[in-house]
Structure 1
Amino acid sequence: MSVLGKLASALGRNDEQPNVELAEALAAKPDAAAIAELAGALATGTTAVSNDAIKVLYELGALKPELVAPHAPAFLKLLSGKNNRNVWGALQAIETITSLQPAAVLAQLPAILVAADKGSVIAKDKAVAILVKLAAAGHGSKVLPVLLERLDGAAPNQFPMYAEQAQPVIDAAHREAFVRLLETRLTSIEASAKRTRVEKVLRRARA
């Protein structure tokens, strides 16, 4: 039986549970051919099939990123598509494999950022997570200026989380700019819980 027959749409289901269960099954018992078939379906399947396939792949990537990392080109190709769900799913999948495929992801960073800016808040969250992982993988000189720029323009609700994610990868060359950014944004944060989170990041950054 083709792995595509196990997708939610093939089973006549309107929920994601079959896709999540398939990802868990592939993580427990890896099947390279099945994973390759799912990756191929991103480009050749119907909208329903490709939507299900990307769900399985990013859920699998969260569990066992090494199993989906070889299919980075298939995820990156989705970024320029018109299927918003697939674009969002591709960003999720790319985030899971960035630590394993940093060079491939870095090469497509402009497309990743464009896709994130056109997408939802979650898409923007994934872009920040990708930048953080690229910095951790040794590409800080290229991506930290971009990360700081996105922090500067982040919505108030997202800023504390982004600051917390960024702080561990900020190097000495960018620490002063990071501290200034935190200090500036702190003055405009009204919610006490969010202020407390940013103040904590600021203390660590100054240490």
Structure 2
Amino acid sequence: MVLEKLAISQNRKDESPNVELAEQLVVNSDREGISELIRGLQLSKGIANDCIKVLYEIGECAPLLIADYVAVFLDCLMSRNNRLVWGGMTALNSIADCEAKAIYTQIDKVKTAYENGSVITVDNSISVFSKVSKANPQYEKEIFPFLMKHLETCRPKEVAQHAERIVVCVNEGNRALFIQILDKRCTELSSAQSKRVAKLIKRVNVQAAEV
């Protein structure tokens, strides 16, 4: 059984067994084992925590192996177990490119987790929003303004990192607004942060010139 290989089942406090299990499941394309992990999310907190860890590690390497469980990961965002919330968001980040439509239909769950979640939840939610926005002009109309409001109001130390996550959905139609907001925020940033943002703006402008 896959659950027997989890860290908690081996009385281990480190994540090595979970990472190794994820690697094995990816190598073997073990969909039955992945299904067992999904069922494990409904078991005790310790088992569920290890299961979500293995699942998002799989998603990092082979997103299509967990893509069918997008609805499960969206439900994780509503959990009272914070580990499942940020783990679920991490998993969604790995599959957002191929499951944008499914995520968009329940985008309110992502927004709720963004509004109430931990730093890891928020970081990954920005990537999820950005990938979904990129997938469809209709999705962009709703999500890109939301992302720009976040970029205008997030903590200065988050501006560069989150802008780098958002840039995947920047295009000809919204580039000017993206750059305008970054230019405005630069007055609040440290020298190192400003340089990081300037480098990103330069990259966006170079890409636009090449189109």
TM-score of the superposed pair, with normalisation by structure 2: 0.91
User: What does residue 115 of structure 2 align with?
Assistant: 117
Distance 1:165 1:15 in 2: 29
User: What does residue 80 of structure 2 align with?
Assistant: 82
Superimposed CA distance per residue, residues 136-184 of structure 1 (whole angstroms, 9 cap, x where no aligned partner):
3223233211111111122111111112232342123322321221121
TM-score of the superposed pair, with normalisation by structure 1: 0.92
More displaced stretch, 163-172 vs 26-35: 163-172
Alignment of 1:1-207 (within 5 A): 2-43=1-42, 45-138=43-136, 139-189=139-189, 191-206=190-205
| Runs of 5+ unmatched residues, structure 2 | none
2:11 is paired with a residue whose SS is: coil
- Does the 8 Å CA contact 1:23/1:56 hold for their aligned counterparts? yes
Superimposed CA distance per residue, residues 59-93 of structure 1 (whole angstroms, 9 cap, x where no aligned partner):
00001000000111111111111001111100001
- Does the 8 Å CA contact 1:36/1:71 hold for their aligned counterparts? no
| Runs of 5+ unmatched residues, structure 1 | none
Distance 1:154 1:177 in 2: 16
Distance 1:109 1:163 in 2: 20
Tell me how large the CA RMSD over aligned residues is: 1.5
Identity %: 35
- Does the 8 Å CA contact 2:97/2:131 hold for their aligned counterparts? yes
